């Protein structure tokens, strides 16, 4: 009897979950005035666009090497700057190190604000302030990396073994020495792993950032689309895809070794 009741409960639970998802979907469609009939009716346009991409211009490939190298450099420098900035802020954003909730909450509030700004919006603002070029992309990636990695690091700090900290406190070590000698050794592998993870994300993001003028191969993609040269668009997309796959594979392999 209990088994039957459990089965019925699981069935009702699944039904309620599906009904809730369907209700949320219906409300979302109604609120956004989404027209799926129009979407289905435009399938022919999608096919026509894909047909334009069917003949990539491989002769244009050598001209993409330099912009892609710039994109990779932009991602690497931005990631490095973001991680270096995130390390001290992540220490200050946890009571494990500061022992002060007020300081911790202030820094976490600041980091939350940084993370709420979308990448493309940030890039567009910086393009208006700094101008078009790789420098804008580096700053955008650095800020994005700073917000993301700082959260990952302070969450990692909160799960460390507290025994070394207590031992250092017992012999009179100050907060800085505790952070350097008791906390840092426990999160070094996490820092390295998150750095490669951020670089992996930033390589993908930097191609899109270039589309709004932040430098790199995204600028070439924007130019090709603007001039309706879809053969070039096709080879750019394929080249970006190939580079991203290589970067993801290498990054994942390194992160596995660091665990």
- Is residue 51 within 8 Å of residue 171, measured between CB atoms? no
Q: What is the mean pLDDT of the chain?
A: 84
**Report for 4-8, 111-115, 124-128: range of highest mean pLDDT:** 111-115
Examine residue 41 and state whether it is found in any structural domain, yes or no: no
- Is residue 58 within 8 Å of residue 118, measured between CB atoms? no
If you ran DSSP here, which 8-state letter would residue 33 be given? T
With tokens 């020495």, the residue in question is: 177
Q: Verify that 134 and 192 share a domain, yes or no.
A: yes
Q: pTM value?
A: 0.79
Q: CATH no. for residue 120?
A: 1.10.3720.10
Examine residue 115 and state whether it is found in any structural domain, yes or no: yes
Examine residue 43 and state whether it is found in any structural domain, yes or no: no
Q: Verify that 9 and 123 share a domain, yes or no.
A: no
Examine residue 77 and state whether it is found in any structural domain, yes or no: yes
Which long-range contacts (C-beta less than 8 Å, at least 24 apart) are formed by 239-248?
Answer: 239/61, 239/64, 239/68, 240/68, 240/207, 243/68, 243/72, 243/203, 244/203, 244/204, 244/207, 247/72, 247/199, 247/200, 247/203, 248/200
Range of the structural domain that residue 117 is part of: 60-258
Examine residue 242 and state whether it is found in any structural domain, yes or no: yes
Examine residue 153 and state whether it is found in any structural domain, yes or no: yes
pLDDT confidence bin for 3, thresholds 50/70/90: low
Examine residue 220 and state whether it is found in any structural domain, yes or no: yes
- What's the pLDDT score for residue 218? 81
Domain tally, the chain: 2
Query: Is 191's pLDDT higher than 70?
Result: yes
- Is residue 58 within 8 Å of residue 237, measured between CB atoms? no
Q: Verify that 23 and 72 share a domain, yes or no.
A: no
If you ran DSSP here, which 8-state letter would residue 213 be given? T
Nearest-angstrom CA–CA distance, 147 and 137 = 16
- What's the pLDDT score for residue 259? 65
């Amino acid at each position: 009897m209990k088994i039957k009741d459990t089965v019925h409960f699981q069935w009702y639970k699944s039904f309620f979950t599906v009904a809730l998802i369907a209700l949320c979907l219906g409300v979302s469609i109604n609120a956004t005035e989404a027209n799926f009939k129009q979407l289905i009716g435009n399938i022919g346009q999608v096919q026509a666009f894909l047909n334009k991409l069917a003949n990539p211009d491989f002769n244009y490939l050598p001209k993409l090497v330099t912009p892609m190298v710039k994109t990779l450099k932009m991602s690497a420098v931005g990631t490095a700057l973001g991680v270096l900035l995130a390390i001290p802020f992540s220490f200050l954003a946890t009571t494990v190190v500061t022992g002060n909730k007020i300081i911790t909450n202030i820094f976490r509030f600041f980091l939350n604000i940084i993370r709420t700004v979308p990448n493309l919006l940030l890039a567009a603002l910086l393009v208006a302030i700094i101008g078009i070029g790789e420098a804008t992309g580096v700053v955008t990636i650095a800020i994005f990396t700073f917000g993301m990695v700082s959260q990952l690091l302070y969450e990692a700090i909160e799960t460390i073994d507290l025994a070394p900290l207590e031992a250092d406190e017992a012999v009179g070590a100050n907060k800085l020495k505790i952070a350097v000698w008791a906390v840092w050794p426990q999160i070094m592998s996490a820092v390295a792993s998150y750095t490669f993870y951020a670089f992996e994300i930033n390589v993908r993001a930097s191609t899109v950032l270039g589309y709004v003028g932040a430098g790199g191969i995204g600028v070439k993609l924007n130019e090709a689309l603007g001039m309706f040269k879809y053969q070039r668009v096709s080879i750019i997309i394929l080249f970006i895809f190939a580079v991203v796959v290589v970067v993801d594979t290498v990054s994942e392999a390194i992160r596995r070794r660091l665990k």
